[in-house]
């Protein structure tokens, strides 16, 4: 059975669309449109949207339908607090067994981030910045933590699309330094940089969210 033919599989597919920026904060999620797009019934779509609502990625409004969530300042804070716990452990894990092939893959990803920034493709930059963290997670041996990160990354990706209009160049530079530390097997340095990097991102978005409606 195709993944999209199960509620959890379809929920994962919709999460990917949110993380990539194909679905943006506040977008209406039509059961009929999603069903037609993925070739599934509205009942299955409804169950997938309920799962995403429990995870905070979707808001269900009575008599109006489902919408991609628009995270508040408090929700951003909570998501980043959880990410620091998870990603600190993940980089510890990856630094202990990062191979030359892994390093090349991460460097290519950083190059793609820089190219997207230089070309002014903001949507691609946001997608790639989030994806970089998921690539690192995919290299870890602890895939339970990696799975938890996927949902949190989607939430903070929403915040980036809503509030983060700058700082991408600094984020990419920090990603490049992170690769250097992982290549050197420096777990302590990688963890320290990851925590600082996430805190900086959080602060920038919370500052931007301050004073906005719902922020």
pLDDT at 4: 62
pLDDT at 74: 87
CA distances from 59 to 102, 141, 187 (A): 37, 33, 38
pLDDT at 1: 47
Spell out the SS3 assignment of 2-69: CHHHCHHHHHHHHHHHHHHCCCCCCCEECHHHHHHHHCCCHHHHHHHHHHHHHCCCEEEECCCEEEEC
pLDDT at 215: 47
CA distances from 84 to 88, 92, 197 (A): 6, 12, 9
pLDDT at 90: 96
pLDDT at 19: 74
Is the CB of residue 215 less than 8 Å from the CB of residue 209?
Answer: yes
pLDDT by 10s per residue, the chain, length 215: 455 678 988 998 998 888 777 888 899 999 999 999 999 999 999 999 999 998 788 999 998 999 999 888 888 899 999 999 999 999 999 999 999 999 999 999 999 999 999 998 877 888 899 999 999 999 999 989 998 998 898 888 888 877 766 678 899 999 999 999 999 999 999 999 999 999 999 988 877 777 554 44
Distance CA 29, CA 18 (A): 11
CA angle, 198 then 192 then 106, to 5°: 70
In what order do the strands lie in the sheet containing 28-29? 28-29, 65-68, 58-61
Distance CA 185, CA 143 (A): 20
Q: Which domains does the chain have, with CATH numbers?
A: 3-68 (1.10.10.10), 73-209 (1.20.120.530)
């Amino acid at each position: 059975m195709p993944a999209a033919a199960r509620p959890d599989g379809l929920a994962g597919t919709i999460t990917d669309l949110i993380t990539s920026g194909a679905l943006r904060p506040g977008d209406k999620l039509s059961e009929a449109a999603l069903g037609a797009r993925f070739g599934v019934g509205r009942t299955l779509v409804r169950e997938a949207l309920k799962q995403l609502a429990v995870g905070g990625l979707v808001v269900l409004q009575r008599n109006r339908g489902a919408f991609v969530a628009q995270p508040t300042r408090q929700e951003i804070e909570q998501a980043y607090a959880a990410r620091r716990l998870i990603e600190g452990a993940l980089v510890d894990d990856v630094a202990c067994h990062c191979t030359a092939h892994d390093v090349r893959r991460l460097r290519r990803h950083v190059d793609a981030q820089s190219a997207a920034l230089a070309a002014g493709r903001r949507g691609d930059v946001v997608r790639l910045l989030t994806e970089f963290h998921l690539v690192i997670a995919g290299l870890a041996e602890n895939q339970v933590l990696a799975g938890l990160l996927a949902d949190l990354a989607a939430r903070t990706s929403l915040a980036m699309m809503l509030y983060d209009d700058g700082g991408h160049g600094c984020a990419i530079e920090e990603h490049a330094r992170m690769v250097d530390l992982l290549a050197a097997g420096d777990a302590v340095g990688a963890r320290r940089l990851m925590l600082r990097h996430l805190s900086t991102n959080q602060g920038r978005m919370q500052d931007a969210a301050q004073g906005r409606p719902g922020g």
